[in-house]
């Protein structure tokens, strides 16, 4: 069954490639859309088959403290490990600590506040919810007596 689905996928892909090389007409565009839907359905069924197959292996081999469980964990760790990363200037980083520092620095720069300035033209578009006096009251630090009373 898997071979049939894979072969069908290949045929549809060739058909789609041929359709995309033709001069576009309404009929060819509709046929291309139909072919893309067929390919999507085939890939979804393939994904379902492989998911079921991996689930069968997992059930058969077990989720115990076995060679299978340890091997699958090692494979997942290797797949998720970043061995090297290329910087914007083309240099490669291969040391784990250097990669970590580089990523940390980039995310820090990415999410650092840039202190945008809002022009007066845009300020009139935003209605004030509180008055200047209320804002000053909200921003001030409480006095010692106020804290003592509350506590």
- The residue that leads in pLDDT, 31 or 57, is 31
Domain ranges of the chain: 2-65
DSSP for 2-48 reads HHHHHHHHHHHHHHHHHHHHSPP-HHHHHHHHHHHHHHHHHHHHHHH
pLDDT at 121 over 80: no
Q: Which of 37, 68, 42 is nearest to 54 (CA)?
A: 68
| Residues whose CB falls within 8 Å of the CB of residue 57, separated by 6 or more in sequence, listed in order | 68
| Residues whose CB falls within 8 Å of the CB of residue 53, separated by 6 or more in sequence, listed in order | none
Q: What is the mean pLDDT of the chain?
A: 79
Using CA atoms, how far residue 86 sits from 22, 61, 81, 82, 103, in Å, is 39, 39, 15, 11, 11
Residue 92, SS3? strand
Backbone torsions φ then ψ of 39, nearest 5 degrees: -65, -40
Mean pLDDT within 2-24: 71
Packed helices 67-80 and 26-61: angle between N→C axes, nearest 10 degrees: 140
Backbone torsions φ then ψ of 93, nearest 5 degrees: -110, 130
Lowest-confidence region among 61-65, 69-73, 114-118, 146-150: 61-65
pLDDT band at 2 (very low <50, low <70, confident <90, very high): very low
Backbone torsions φ then ψ of 86, nearest 5 degrees: -95, 130
pLDDT at 43 over 50: yes
């Amino acid at each position: 069954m898997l071979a049939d689905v894979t072969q069908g996928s290949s045929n549809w892909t060739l058909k789609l490639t041929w359709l995309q090389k033709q001069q576009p007409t309404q009929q060819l565009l509709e046929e291309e859309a139909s072919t893309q839907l067929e390919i999507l359905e085939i890939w979804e069924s393939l994904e379902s088959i492989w998911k079921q197959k991996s689930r069968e292996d997992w059930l058969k081999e077990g989720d115990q403290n076995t060679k299978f469980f340890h091997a699958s964990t090692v494979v997942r760790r290797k797949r998720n490990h970043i061995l090297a990363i290329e910087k914007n200037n083309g240099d490669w980083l291969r040391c784990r600590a250097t990669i970590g520092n580089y990523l940390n620095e980039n995310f820090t720069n990415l999410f650092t506040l840039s202190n945008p300035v809002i022009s007066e033209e845009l300020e009139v578009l935003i209605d004030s919810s509180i008055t200047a006096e209320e804002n000053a009251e909200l921003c001030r630090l409480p006095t010692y007596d106020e804290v003592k009373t509350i506590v």
